[in-house]
Structure 1
């Protein structure tokens, strides 16, 4: 309970600081919204020109797109401290100060900053889900809503894990590696399309290495009540988001190992 109270204080402080410049926060949120809407516009132009792609409709893509956007926006909101860990904590030596405080480093990094601009992406994801619902004439039953929330939770856990893994690498690389962004932001892009559209080696990467398919492709098939054209069993589809939590646990285990290996700056 004390930790939750501290997180609330972190949250309130961060929000108050950003609201000192409300126009800036509003414009950043609007920019995040418009950027992702432009991406969706490109997808719409593709389907408007060529029609269905391997049986996938524009509404199906919107369902993938919206789920992933919502999941990533939630993870991005609570992982700012891990995202900037290399440049703002390891390189400057401020992580020494974090370790001296009577609270876990994880709690302090989660509370480092809560960015309001991610609300733009969150709203965009909800709007795109509305577009998908209308385009597919989809009826949201109670089971579908529950599965969607479960999918979003698993996706947020996986993307949060990727941020933790990025911070862990900074113990040895000092600066966060740009190659990790290929997996995080690139993974968001890849998860917005059905897995069956990709080459075999890339599908295996998204299932077994960085299991992004398990928090987007498989559960969305279950929501839409579609069989997997790649042959995954139907019982696995709604259970797939659990892989996101397993991935997060593995990333935190790596993080704890990195903390133990951390060497102070000595200054």
Structure 2
């Protein structure tokens, strides 16, 4: 069985297990939806008070918000194994079992759990994205749809890479450090707003260190058909999401390095 077919089977087994408790699964999904609704209410309150933020309207910010939330929710959907890696695999020694199997450890951790509840956040993000497109008056064409899909794919790769790096820390710290959530969840919050409203040092960090701007800000500026206040060239936006895939490649290399340093529990 090839890797893709095995992953589909693992996802199927995970979904069947969760659907043994359909009410609980539905409530968790609704909880994800409602929790993120509170976030967009906070964004609305900001714009209701001030009207615009550095020339950006609520509709335009909804496009930023929706796109990045869809990307993050899809990454969160398949990275449960990395999210719980420290306490569930390193601390208990269960990672030894993954190493003994003739399959990639990344594949096994991706297939560990397919979290259906994350579709609640996906639905909310997609709804806000479509509302933002409507209120911004975007003439949504095929090119814009392709760029949005590419940006979501790049964002999914980027956030998956961040979660992999967080899990890799557990090879040295045993527990996955919660401080890494500053980059994951904090990065999502930062990407809700245009990059141009932030200080110069923070813009550089979000562009060149953790390139969240490349999968959210630059593509959305092109979709909105606006000139970038930061002066980025028009040709850069369509290729900017490639930075997300590059970041994932680096994260996987760091992961392989961490696996080489794993020494088990000794029990």
TM-score by length of 2: 0.98
> Is the CA contact (8 Å cut-off) linking 2:60 and 2:133 kept in structure 1?
no
RMSD: 0.9
**What whole-Å deviation, never above 9, does each CA across 1:78-135 have from its counterpart, x for those lacking one?**
1111111111000010000110111111110010001111000000011001210221
Instruction: Tell me the residue number matched to 2:139.
Output: 139
Aligned mates of 2:178, 2:204 — CA distance in 1:
22
Instruction: Tell me the residue number matched to 1:215.
Output: 215
SS across alignment from 1:117:
helix
Matches within 5 A, 1:49-68: 49-68=49-68
Aligned mates of 1:42, 1:260 — CA distance in 2:
44
TM-score by length of 1: 0.98
User: C-alpha displacement at 1:248, in angstroms?
Assistant: 0.3
SS across alignment from 2:169:
helix
Instruction: Tell me the residue number matched to 1:255.
Output: 255
Instruction: Tell me the residue number matched to 2:188.
Output: 188
Aligned mates of 2:53, 2:213 — CA distance in 1:
19
User: C-alpha displacement at 1:145, in angstroms?
Assistant: 0.3
Aligned mates of 2:138, 2:210 — CA distance in 1:
30
Aligned mates of 1:134, 1:231 — CA distance in 2:
26
SS across alignment from 1:98:
helix
Instruction: Tell me the residue number matched to 2:109.
Output: 109
Would you say 1:42 and 2:42 are equivalent positions? yes
Matches within 5 A, 1:155-166: 155-166=155-166
Aligned mates of 2:208, 2:25 — CA distance in 1:
38
The worse-fitting range, judged by mean Cα deviation, of 227-236 and 251-260 is: 227-236
Aligned mates of 1:247, 1:171 — CA distance in 2:
20
User: C-alpha displacement at 1:57, in angstroms?
Assistant: 0.3
Aligned mates of 2:82, 2:4 — CA distance in 1:
19
Aligned mates of 2:96, 2:61 — CA distance in 1:
45
Aligned mates of 1:133, 1:123 — CA distance in 2:
15
The worse-fitting range, judged by mean Cα deviation, of 246-255 and 127-136 is: 127-136
SS across alignment from 1:15:
helix
Aligned mates of 2:124, 2:46 — CA distance in 1:
20
Unaligned runs of 5+ in 2: none
**What whole-Å deviation, never above 9, does each CA across 1:140-173 have from its counterpart, x for those lacking one?**
1000000000000000000000011011111001
Matches within 5 A, 1:1-267: 2-267=2-267
> Is the CA contact (8 Å cut-off) linking 2:25 and 2:117 kept in structure 1?
yes
Aligned mates of 1:144, 1:254 — CA distance in 2:
34
User: C-alpha displacement at 1:266, in angstroms?
Assistant: 2.7
* Runs of 4+ in structure 1 over 3 Å off: none
User: C-alpha displacement at 1:205, in angstroms?
Assistant: 1.1
Aligned residue pair count:
267
**What whole-Å deviation, never above 9, does each CA across 1:185-230 have from its counterpart, x for those lacking one?**
1100000100111111111111111111111001111111111101
User: C-alpha displacement at 1:262, in angstroms?
Assistant: 0.9
Aligned mates of 1:265, 1:133 — CA distance in 2:
52
